[in-house]
Amino acid sequence: MTDRSLDTLIDEVVLGLASDADIARVEALADSDPEVAKRLEQARQTFAPLDDTAEVLPLPEGFWERIDARLEASEAGGTVIPLAEARARRIPWRSTALGAIAATLLMAVVLGTTLMSERDPLVVAVLLDAGGEPVALIESGVDNTTRVTLLERPDVPADQVMQVWTKPDEDGPPVSLGLLTGGRSRTLTIEGLPAPNSRQLYEITAEPAGGSPTNLPTGPILGVGLAKEPVI
């Protein structure tokens, strides 16, 4: 059995689409092989959110047998497909169908998890350049995951990079949140800082490639602004 076919079989078991014999087979493999046990548990964790919300609806009795019968009796241009060929077709067809079902359910789980985990930003700041024009939008959450959306593409030399800073403490030093490599909008995450607060300073500077050599802003300020709490 290939890894791909084993993964398909494990998905069938977890999704409740496997026969009793296949369930027993996978459970026996998991009992004797820690790697199979790990893959089985990973599949269960992947589809666990569906178990928490969905009503259990077993497949109709004889579902796969009826599929077999239709394959065996199907006609292609008026010619009945031989039994051996129909059985041969059933294997890739069932694998493909199971893969599509699993992929669809996995997408639903991921999308649902993403939507459920979305949070409104704790603070928002509009960064202005020296001329008072907005150049970037900052949205930062309680865990200091900060979305930096560029509104203008500053003219930064090829040997420099944009670096994002904040001052959690008004009287303390700036702290780097990360680099905007390629001059593009990014989501930056940093640990160890207190939750962002209203009136917290954010700025973007131009620094040497790789970031500031002093871990403090050294280049010209491309945009700066104070955070505010959004009205929700």
- The domain boundary, picked from 91, 117, 143, lies at 117
User: What is the three-class DSSP state of 196?
Assistant: coil
Q: E strands of the chain, at which residues? A: 75-76, 79-80, 123-128, 134-140, 145-150, 160-167, 175-180, 186-189, 201-208, 221-226
Give the pLDDT confidence of 161-201 residue by residue, as tens digits: 999 999 998 889 999 999 998 888 889 988 889 999 988 99
Rounded mean pLDDT, 151-167? 89
Q: State the pLDDT confidence band at 86, using cuts at 50, 70 and 90.
A: very low
Name which residue leads in pLDDT, 112 or 67: 67
Range of the domain at 68: 3-117
Token pair for 206: 């131009």
Let me know whether 112 and 180 are in one domain.
no
What per-residue confidence (pLDDT) applies to 183?
A: 80
* pTM of this prediction exceeds 0.85: no
Average pLDDT, the chain: 77
Token pair for 36: 């199979």
Most distant CA pair in the chain: distance in Å?
A: 84
* 163 domain-assigned: yes
| DSSP 8-state code for residue 183 | G
Is the pLDDT confidence value at 110 over 50? no
Give the pLDDT confidence of 67-84 residue by residue, as tens digits: 666 666 654 455 544 544
Let me know whether 142 and 36 are in one domain.
no
Q: Percent of the chain, pLDDT > 90?
A: 30
Let me know whether 130 and 196 are in one domain.
yes
Cα distance between residue 36 and residue 40, in whole Å: 6
- Which string of b and e fits 10-47 if b means at least 16 CB within 10 Å? bbbbbbebbeeeeeeebeebbeeeeebeebbeebeebb
What per-residue confidence (pLDDT) applies to 113?
A: 40
DSSP string, 80-124: EPPHHHHHHHHHHHHHHHHHHHHHHHHHHHHHHHHHHH----SEE
Token pair for 35: 């790697």
Let me know whether 110 and 11 are in one domain.
yes
Cα distance between residue 22 and residue 206, in whole Å: 60
Is the pLDDT confidence value at 25 over 50? yes
* 231 domain-assigned: no
Give the number of domains in the chain: 2
Sign of CA dihedral 20, 22, 25, 26: negative
| Lowest-confidence pick of 46-60, 75-89, 209-223 | 75-89
* 26 domain-assigned: yes
| Cα Rg, the chain, nearest whole Å | 28
Cα distance between residue 60 and residue 176, in whole Å: 58
- The domain boundary, picked from 68, 85, 117, lies at 117
